[in-house]
Amino acid sequence: MSDPAESLVQRVADRVVDLVVHALDVNALAQQVDLNALVVQVDIDASLRKIDLDALLARVDVNPLLQRADLNALLGQADMNALLDQVDVDDLMRRVDLGALLDRVDLNAMVQRVDTDALIEQTDLGAVIAASSGGAASEALDAARSQAVGLDQFIDRWTGRLLWRKRPRPPAPAALLDAQAGP
C-alpha cells in the first residue's frame, strides 16, 4: 500500500489546484495579456503548413457558421475586380462541359423570344434574293458554257472524220498560238 504521507500530499495538491482554479478570474487574466505581441510571435505560415485542412474542414459544420455570417457585408468588402483578375478564363472554359450546358438550355423557348418581324424588317430580302439567284444564274451559265465547249469539240471531231482529216487540228487559230508563244 502507498505511504500515508504521499496520499495526504496528493489530497492537498488536488485541493490547492481546485482553489486556484475557482479563485482565478480568467477574464481579468485575459485582459492583461497583450494579444498583439503574442500574435506577432506566431509564425502563421509554419502553423498552417502543419494543419491538415481537409481533416479540419471535414470536422467543421459550415451551415451554422454561414447562417450567422453576413455574406453580403463580407463580399461588399472584397475587391471583386482583383479577384476576377486572378481567374484564368481559358482554363475555366476548358473545364466547362458545353454539351451538358447546352442540354440544360431550352432552345425552343429562346427561339420563341426572337422578334422575327423586326428581324425581317431589318433584312434586305431583295439583296439576299439577288445574291442567291445571281449565284445560281452564274452556276447555270458556267454549266451551259461547259456543255457548249463539249458540244463544239464533239462537232469538230465528227467534222474531221467526215472530211477524212489525217492529222488533228490545232487547239486554237495560228495567230492566237503565235501571240501566246511570244516574248
Cα(69)–Cα(174) distance, integer angstroms: 97
Select the more confidently predicted residue: 10 or 3.
Answer: 10
Q: Is residue 116 in some structural domain?
A: no
- Predicted confidence (pLDDT) per residue in 145-166, tens digit: 888 888 888 888 888 778 877 7
| Assigned domain for 145 exists | yes
pLDDT (0 to 100) of residue 182 = 62
Within 10 A of 93 (CB to CB), how many other CB atoms are there?
9
Q: Are residues 86 and 129 in the same domain?
A: no
For residues 157 and 151, what is the distance between their CA atoms, to the nearest angstrom? 10
Asked if residue 143 is part of any domain, the answer here is yes
Is residue 155 a part of any domain in this protein? yes
Q: What is the pLDDT of residues 124-142, one digit of tens each?
A: 776 777 666 667 777 888 8
Residue 1 has pLDDT above 60, yes or no: no
Among 72, 90, 108, identify where a domain stops.
90
- Give the residue, 27 or 181, on which the prediction is more confident: 27
Shared domain for 82 and 155, answered yes or no, is no
pLDDT, tens digit, for every residue of 62-87?
Answer: 788 778 888 888 888 888 888 888 98
- Which of 90, 117, 139 is at the close of a domain? 90
Instruction: Give the chain's domain count.
Output: 2
Domain boundary among 68, 90, 112: 90
Neighbours of 160 (CB within 10 A): 14
CA distances to 21, 147, 150 from 154, rounded to whole Å, are: 121, 10, 6
In a domain, residue 137? The reply is: yes
Name the residue range of residue 85's domain. 4-90
Query: Is 81 in the same domain as 130?
Result: no
Taking all residues of the chain, what is their mean pLDDT, rounded to a whole number? 80
